[in-house]
Amino acid sequence: QSDGDAKESKQPEAAVPKLLHSLSKRFFGSLSPSLSGPPSLPLLGNMLDLAQEHLPIHLTSLALRYGNIYRLNCGSTTMVILNNSEIIREALIKKWSDFAGRPHSYTGDIVSSGGRSISLGDFSEGWKAHRRVAHSALHRCTMDSLHSVIEKQAHHLCQVLRDYNGKAVDLSEDFTVAASNVITTLTLGKSYDKSSEDLQKLQDCLNEIVSLWGSPWISALDSFPLLRKLPNPPFSRLMKEVARRDELIGKHIEDFKKNDHKKGGTVTSSLLQSLEQPQGGASQMTLTETHVHMTTVDLLIGGTETTAALLNWTVAFLLHRPEVQNKVYEELCGVLDVRYPQYSDRHRLPYLCALINEMLRLRPVAPLAVPHRAIRNSSIAGHFIPKNTIIIPNLYGAHHDPEVWDDPYSFKPERFLEGGGGSLRALIPFGGGARLCLGEAIARMEMFLFTAYLLRDFKFLPASKEEPLPDLRGVASVVLKVKPYTVITHPREK
Ligand code: HEM
């Protein structure tokens, strides 16, 4: 099963005349003289590369020509693209303190309330304290209850699928509701029905923000300030959606403060309580309500579309390879008989774990992570990297590196079985270091339990013989998603 091959991607730089290339060098010079990269056009730099329709595949294809570390120019900014897991580990883990920054950007400031979110806030003592407080609130609230919260949603999801009675359906919304309910239970102590207007509004708004913010029409405003003076309908929509998000989350937090916050047990109550205590400490951090608000946004955005997209990818790949579904089912029946799995069963279910690892490799749902910024002059793979360079960890590229992965574009869960040659060290779907995904533990438990419940209870069948199987190339924005498809969920006989 070969999906969209990086080699197929168009390479517009091949058509750029040499004269333009040398002119652009004269205009911009090069902040990273030792790094090669595609020629950049006057004024536009490498905007054409960055506007490619499937950016992770395009950046991976450029690595074939320019190597595992190369540069792109965008306005006055230099970006360095890392395409191999050892190089990414060097920057994110070994030299984490050099590269833990986030780029300051005009649009980033708008979506993060002036950099006060964990995901987009720049590295500082205040940011470290914010992340630490959120991390420990999340840890406290998930320690005892996470398993039962996910189990409840997994049972509910299976019931919803049973109720389809063999109809061909698009499951993406059901996956979103299940993943979102895990997060809303942890943060606000509430879960929602699929038909809930409140949930719909919130999800539509968060999705719209993520997809607009990832669009080249919006990112161009960060690199080319003059464009901010021109009318830009996508940007006006982004501003409207951010205002709507703040109103919706603000209302949830106000309701929560009135009714539930003293009860405790949720991330939001824990954070609100920490507002009442002086933060003190070396950081002199003052957590404000805006930080609590933005933590809720971070967890909802980070924790919903990612896990939901990965579940949707898993079913899409399984439609192409029905024998993999059967192998997981046989393993579950052999090890657990009729009972539902617990997360602690994972060591006895190697094939299921191999399937999840293979999905995280083939479709890292945050394919370019979140851009990092060099906080000081440093180096990566022996190349000088000046302060303020933007670092893009191409996780998609690292997971398709032919030097590391045998037949990298093929779907082969077996590679992660003992002796199968798959490298867990090279698998980095959650990033690493100071900016490691805050929800990794939650996402791993969700993926395990949701996938196990679904494959225990259902066989996924193509919608019809006439319709093509799901397209496996996908659509890449901040999140890498499969194109919409329908599937029949056929209950397994017990
Ligand atoms: C399969 C699911 C998921 C994947 C593949 C994933 C992947 C990632 C990646 C690659 C990053 C960027 C790391 C970097 O900047 O180097 C990230 C950041 C983040 N993720 Fe996740 N994530 C997932 C699920 C979740 C969940 C469930 C939550 C919340 C409960 C979450 C919350 C966050 C937050 C808050 C950040 C920002 C961390 C920071 O900047 O310090 N993610 N995630």
Q: For residue 286, which phi and psi values (nearest 5 degrees)?
A: -115, 110
pLDDT at 285: 62
Query: Is residue 396 in contact with ligand 1, taking CB distance under 6 Å?
Result: no
pLDDT digits 0-9 by tens, 211-244: 898 787 888 898 788 999 999 999 999 999 999 9
Residues near 77 by beta carbon (within 8 Å), at least 6 away in sequence? 103, 222, 223, 390
Residue located via tokens 């993943």:
179
Q: Does domain 6-491 have CATH number 3.30.70.100?
A: no
Tokens describing residue 141: 């609230």
Q: Which atom of ligand 1 is nearest to the CA of 395?
A: 10
For the chain, which residues make up each domain, given as ranges? Answer: 6-491
**String of b and e for 153-189 (b: at least 16 CB within 10 Å)?**
bbebbbebbeebeeeebebbebbbbbbbbbbbbbbbb
Among 357, 394, 430, 444, residue to substitute to test ligand 1 (most atoms within 8 Å of Cβ):
430
Greater confidence, 272 or 391? Answer: 391
178 ligand 1 Cβ < 6 A? no
Average pLDDT over residues 474-489: 95
For residue 418, the tally of other CB atoms under 10 A from its CB is 7
Tracing tokens 């498809």 back to the chain, one arrives at: 485
Which of 123-137, 248-262, 412-426, 450-464 comes out lowest in average pLDDT? 248-262
Residue 442 Cβ < 6 Å to ligand 1: yes
Nearest protein Cα to ligand 1, atom 19? 437
**What confidence category does residue 272 fall into, taking pLDDT thresholds of 50, 70 and 90?**
confident
CA atoms 334, 337, 338, 342: torsion sign: negative
Report the C-alpha gap between 253 and 469 in whole angstroms: 43
Q: Kindly give the distance from the C-alpha atom of residue 440 to the centroid of ligand 1, in angstroms, as a whole number.
A: 7
Residues in the chain: 494
- Work out the pLDDT band at 108, boundaries 50, 70, 90: very high
Residue with CA nearest ligand 1 atom 3: 306
Residue 108 Cα to ligand 1 middle (Å): 17
Q: Give the model's pLDDT for residue 20.
A: 41
Residue 429 CB–ligand 1 contact under 6 Å: yes
Tell me the average pLDDT of the chain: 89
pLDDT at residue 2 greater than cutoff 60: no
- Gap from CA of 370 to ligand 1 centroid (Å): 9
Using the atom order of ligand 1, give the atom closest to the CA of residue 179. 27
The separation between the first and the last C-alpha atoms of the chain, rounded to the nearest angstrom, is: 31
Rounded CA Rg of the chain: 23
Q: Spell out the SS3 assignment of the chain.
A: CECCCHHHCCCHHHHCCHHHHHHHHHHHCCCCCCCCCCCCECCCECHHHHCCCCHHHHHHHHHHHHCCEEEEEECCEEEEEECCHHHHHHHHHHCHHHHCECCCCHHHHHHCCCCCCCCCCCCCHHHHHHHHHHHHHHHHHHHHHHHHHHHHHHHHHHHHHHHCCCCEECCHHHHHHHHHHHHHHHHHCCCCCCCCHHHHHHHHHHHHHHHHHCCHHHHHHHHCHHHHHCCCHHHHHHHHHHHHHHHHHHHHHHHHHHHCHHHCCCHHHHHHHHHHCCCCCCCCCCCCHHHHHHHHHHHHHHHHHHHHHHHHHHHHHHHHCHHHHHHHHHHHHHHHCCCCCCHHHHHHCHHHHHHHHHHHHHCCCCCCCCCEECCCCEEECCEEECCCCEEEECHHHHCCCCCCCCCCCECCHHHHCCCCCCCCCCCCCCCCHHHCCCCHHHHHHHHHHHHHHHHHHEEEEECCCCCCCCCCCCEECCCEECCCCCEEEEECCC
Indicate whether residue 370 lines ligand 1 (CB < 6 A): yes
Strand partners, 16: none
Mutate to test the pocket of ligand 1, among 87, 372, 437 (most ligand atoms within 8 A of CB): 437
Flag whether pLDDT at 295 surpasses 90.
yes
74 is in an annotated binding site: no
Indicate which atom in ligand 1 lies nearest the CA of residue 443. 27
- Report the nearest-CA residue for atom 21 of ligand 1: 437
Locate the ligand 1 atom nearest the alpha carbon of residue 134 and give its number.
35
Token pair for residue 492?
Answer: 């397994």
Q: Residues 355, 67, 94, 210: is their CA dihedral positive or negative?
A: negative
**What residue's CA is closest to ligand 1, atom 17?**
437
> How many CB atoms are located within 10 Å of the residue 204 CB?
12
**ipTM of model:** 0.99
Query: Ligand 1 in contact with 101 (CB < 6 A)?
Result: no
Is residue 269 very low, low, confident or very high in pLDDT (cuts 50, 70, 90)? Answer: confident
pTM, 2 dp: 0.91
Residue 382 has pLDDT above 90, yes or no: yes
